[in-house]
């Protein structure tokens, strides 16, 4: 009888403890989400960890790159649910739409990331795996570190330099980026890209004329707002914009590497 009562009491205590933990965790998460973004002593917003904290950005709110306002269903790999919606994704030039549709029909088999080619940007910002935005205050630059696949990174220079002439530089996967702060928003402009990568997972094409303007804003501790304007007159009929959010995740970016060509 004593044993039965003892077990019964243990079960009740355990259930109560679990319930209390869940309530406390929910309250803690809610408090953190509503907390203001951390700042440096001079008031500049921190886009990375505060002292004594661990964390990174992940859980993008979108699974692919689509123009703001477009009503298009797309899966986690960037594949359209309905190929007839292809023309809604972006303002394509005719050749670009044909190539995009071919890549979609081909099941995205030609995606360079299958061969460990880097994601480029803005794909870096909508691919799960974790991103850190490290502000180097000594050298006046920002590093964006991508945790997925080949763990690549890019640099945004904030020292007042102007972008080089794209016709005078060797195109790279992340381009040449310069930036500035507009209030609490980090603005980065990138040019000088090669065409060996897909800058979105659905196979959106681009040329060496690609010009990206990215805006990063941290309105609260747990939310990063990201906006990108794509300007490539050889590929699209006009500049177009897409935006989404990422969430703050406590801890370190999980270890993963692209070694075999297939993750």
Give tens-digit pLDDT for 141-185. Answer: 999 998 866 678 899 999 999 877 777 888 899 999 999 999 999
User: Phi and psi for 56 in degrees, rounded to 5?
Assistant: -160, 170
**pLDDT recorded at residue 36:** 97
Percent of the chain with pLDDT over 90: 71
Which pLDDT score, from 0 to 100, does residue 7 have? Answer: 33
Give the mean pLDDT of the chain.
Answer: 86
* pLDDT value at residue 263: 40
Which pLDDT score, from 0 to 100, does residue 262 have? 44
Please give the average per-residue pLDDT across 218-222, as a whole number. Answer: 98
216 or 25, greater pLDDT: 216
Q: Which residues contact 5 (CB under 8 A, 6 or more apart)?
A: none
Q: What is the pLDDT of residues 227-248, one digit of tens each?
A: 999 999 999 999 999 999 999 9
CB contact at 8 A, 64 and 254: no
Q: Per mean pLDDT, which of 30-44, 78-92, 149-163 is the most reliable?
A: 78-92
pLDDT of residue 166: 74
Lowest-pLDDT choice from 104-108, 116-120, 142-146: 116-120
pLDDT for residue 27 is more than 60: no
Q: What is the model's pTM?
A: 0.85
CB burial of 53-84 (b: ≥16 within 10 Å; e: otherwise) equals eebbbbebeebbbbbeeeebebeeebbbeeee
Q: Is the dihedral of CA 101, 106, 107, 108 positive or negative?
A: negative
Are 70 and 64 in contact by the 8 Å Cβ rule? The answer is no
Q: DSSP assignment, residue 137? A: T
Q: Where are the domains of the chain?
A: 1-34, 55-250
């Amino acid at each position: 009888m004593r044993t039965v009562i003892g077990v019964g009491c243990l079960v009740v205590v355990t259930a109560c403890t679990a319930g209390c933990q869940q309530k406390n965790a929910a309250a803690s998460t809610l408090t953190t989400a509503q907390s203001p973004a951390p700042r440096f002593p001079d008031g500049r917003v921190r886009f990375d960890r505060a002292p004594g904290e661990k964390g990174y950005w992940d859980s993008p709110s979108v699974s692919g790159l689509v123009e703001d306002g477009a009503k298009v269903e797309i899966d986690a790999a960037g594949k359209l649910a309905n190929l007839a919606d292809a023309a809604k994704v972006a303002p394509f030039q005719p050749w670009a739409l044909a190539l995009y549709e071919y890549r979609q029909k081909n099941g995205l088999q030609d995606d360079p990331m299958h061969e460990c080619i880097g994601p480029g940007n803005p794909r870096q910002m909508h691919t799960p795996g974790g991103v850190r935005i490290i502000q180097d205050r000594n050298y006046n630059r920002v590093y964006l570190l991508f945790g997925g696949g080949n763990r690549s990174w890019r640099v945004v220079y904030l020292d007042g330099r102007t972008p080089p002439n794209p016709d005078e530089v060797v195109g790279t996967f992340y381009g040449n980026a310069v930036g500035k702060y507009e209030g609490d928003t980090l603005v980065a402009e990138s040019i000088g890209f090669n065409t060996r990568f897909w800058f979105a997972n659905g196979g959106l094409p681009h040329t060496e004329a690609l010009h990206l303007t990215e805006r990063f804003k941290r309105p609260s501790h747990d939310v990063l707002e990201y906006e990108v304007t794509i300007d490539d007159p050889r590929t699209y009929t006009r500049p177009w914009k897409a935006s989404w959010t990422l969430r703050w995740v406590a801890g370190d970016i999980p270890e993963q590497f692209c070694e075999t060509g297939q993750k």
